[in-house]
Structure 1
């Protein structure tokens, strides 16, 4: 990404000043937090289906408890425009192995995209601080996990709290692949939306995520990535880390993420799962595990940013699920064929190939294998 370093420096200084003014939040019990958030969603959400109860539960913070006494806890933080549904499968997988698992809903999410017009990174950080501290009071060992922007937030917290036992980072958004994301903080007040809302073409949201995010949302994401890179430059992170990325991610600078793993995440038990052509580092670094992301037998052309999280059995996002994402950067006639239910291939955002209609890949055929790698890292 080529641009002046001055905006990054200014953003970092602003974030440090903001964070220093925030006192440690009071204890907020998870059950109370969940009920308050459910009420907020119900009051402000633009519901997408007739099943309001289901939508409320999909977007609200969740908890999974294991049988018996928990051996530890995991707090999971979703990404920009997403919801706690991101961890529907991973939460169950971890609970089955003895962990108490909780998710959060970041402010501005779960209701309607317009609610992100004035949200701040500090508000997101506060939710993570409150619920991480609460979980730490209840179990002897706490891990943090995050998807995309959520990975930036948990990395920041872990650098400040040495009691965190390790990290689970899914498509961590340490650096965007866009050369222009740094501009978003400077233009959000004059251009609130990068893509105009309600243009009759682009859907605004689905039952579990936003498809159109205000410019300010991207600005706060940018701030979080600046902060994550600042933490990584500060010193290596020595706790066990599980990380997973796909080579063809349409959001991230995946080479930067790979290099960061090799150089900054130093624990010998850490693992990075890489979907795509084996990276050059794989033969030299046994901590990097590669799998092919072109699976024509499953009609998969490339893996996607979001698909790494979900089992093929997911009731919304699996190949037989109810939520096919056809808004995928392809021509409108292809999108219409996808929405009509015609057979599709799957890919990341923006991938096109003559003669094929591509929906977003929203499931991971390697989910069971990936979960075992993740659990092995937690067992360090």
Structure 2
């Protein structure tokens, strides 16, 4: 009884922090926050699996039907479905129709395959590699934010296994490329799953969800998520808003901004299974993530790599701001000394490599770029697999992640931070005088958002994307 009471108190304390959905300014909508009729396992045909081409076609049809309620314009909806649906990239002409290896791209929680598109484009074009590149859509994604509560961990795992098995008879081996939750699912397949055919040759893990920065083990408490949701529902006046950690306008066609309470449960289950697996991880592993990541614990990823990844060809690309190195002068340097497979990148220059702070530190205000009125202070969780040329998330894209301001209902700064396209389409910005000034991009902290300093947005792309592609090309031997 004391344990249950203690858990209740913890959840009560958590509720005011997370239960801002009803106060965020965007309204709950039965259409947008309800459930669609999209099949959760569109690769299934009764008891057998469909061909990958049939899976792609049927998934697109399901996405189109599910998104009709929120995007009635058929042409615009078709263009968006094309981008968020799974796909296969054509082989380069030099391959003569024969692929050497397969590559499976696995997106993250609340995302869609669009977040992996830039990397897929680059890998499919690599000279001499002849990679057959495919992406999959995780169940519950790409439709409506409300669908994020529908899938189970088992269904996510089944989707990854299907995607891997879909290469059978076409390639001799497959490389798994996972972002965030997709990285955890890739790890789970090789650490806990039955052998695949074709076999998995290597793992490329981008911003892997190995340890979350705000992780409370609700899934380990009997009915923990249900209890948390009940408390939040009571706090919201027993309205449907209590089922959501946040409710936003969902202006991003490729990623849900609104986020249900129950959505993280499958991820936390998979993370636990990865953590407790005793199977050796002998495959080559390439990991790339930001030290300043506010979604996952970058130090947990480094510890996992050092303790569990034994293959000498494995590598870590750690993007770390000079200010972070200066503030903790031996933290990352010690890890580099202990494991020379770890490489720190602290700027755009070819010499900006190494985990030790500069001996004569100079104030580097914008180490990862300063152009078009934006200063890039650090890389972010969400931007690692995305090119600066991306038309949606890139340097001149039409979307910018300023959700930290909407959580605070700071509409002048929110409306000044987002792009002109977002501002024009936001009901929350009507009649609001936007704040002005340059925008700083990186991983915003609470202090960044709370102060009246520069406008700060979450960086949506990787300024070192081309170097990441080069590293991946070298890694895929």
The TM-score with structure 2 as length reference comes to 0.69
- Secondary structure (helix, strand or coil) at the match of 2:53 reads helix
2:200 paired residue number: 164
Residues 181 and 219 of structure 1 are in contact (CA less than 8 Å); yes or no, is this contact kept in structure 2? no
Cα distance change on mapping 1:41 and 1:226 into 2, 3 Å: same
Cα distance change on mapping 1:275 and 1:311 into 2, 3 Å: same
2:288 paired residue number: 244
| d(CA) in 2 for partners of 1:319, 1:274 | 21
- Secondary structure (helix, strand or coil) at the match of 2:178 reads strand
Residues 155 and 228 of structure 1 are in contact (CA less than 8 Å); yes or no, is this contact kept in structure 2? yes
Instruction: Kindly report which structure 2 residues correspond to 1:44-193, keeping only aligned pairs within 5 A, or say none.
Output: 44-45=66-67, 46-47=69-70, 50=73, 51-67=76-92, 68=95, 69-97=98-126, 98-159=130-191, 160=193, 161=195, 163-180=199-216, 182=218, 185-187=225-227, 190=230, 191=232, 193=243
Residues 442 and 456 of structure 2 are in contact (CA less than 8 Å); yes or no, is this contact kept in structure 1? yes
| d(CA) in 2 for partners of 1:115, 1:179 | 22
Q: Output the aligned Cα RMSD.
A: 2.5
| d(CA) in 2 for partners of 1:187, 1:151 | 29
The TM-score with structure 1 as length reference comes to 0.86
1:314 is aligned to 2:390: yes
| d(CA) in 1 for partners of 2:419, 2:165 | 47
1:22 paired residue number: none
- Deviation of residue 281 (structure 1)? 0.8
Q: 1:210 aligns with which of 225, 242, 256?
A: 256
Cα distance change on mapping 1:288 and 1:242 into 2, 3 Å: same
Cα distance change on mapping 1:340 and 1:261 into 2, 3 Å: closer
- Deviation of residue 230 (structure 1)? 2.0
| d(CA) in 1 for partners of 2:419, 2:208 | 33
| d(CA) in 1 for partners of 2:272, 2:226 | 15
Unaligned runs of 5+ in 2: 8-46, 233-241, 326-331, 348-365, 421-435
| d(CA) in 1 for partners of 2:383, 2:172 | 32
Residues 169 and 242 of structure 1 are in contact (CA less than 8 Å); yes or no, is this contact kept in structure 2? yes
Residues 26 and 130 of structure 1 are in contact (CA less than 8 Å); yes or no, is this contact kept in structure 2? no
| d(CA) in 1 for partners of 2:72, 2:276 | 41
Q: 2:269 aligns with which of 202, 223, 246?
A: 223
1:269 paired residue number: 313
Moved more, 41-50 or 285-294: 41-50
Cα distance change on mapping 1:188 and 1:75 into 2, 3 Å: farther
Instruction: Kindly report which structure 2 residues correspond to 1:348-367, keeping only aligned pairs within 5 A, or say none.
Output: 348-350=443-445, 352=448, 354-367=452-465
Q: Highest Rg: 1 or 2?
A: 2
Moved more, 328-337 or 356-365: 328-337
Q: 2:403 aligns with which of 322, 327, 344?
A: 327
- Deviation of residue 53 (structure 1)? 1.6
Aligned residue pair count: 353
1:39 is aligned to 2:79: no
| d(CA) in 1 for partners of 2:311, 2:246 | 45
- Deviation of residue 205 (structure 1)? 5.0
Residues 178 and 186 of structure 2 are in contact (CA less than 8 Å); yes or no, is this contact kept in structure 1? yes
- Deviation of residue 320 (structure 1)? 0.6
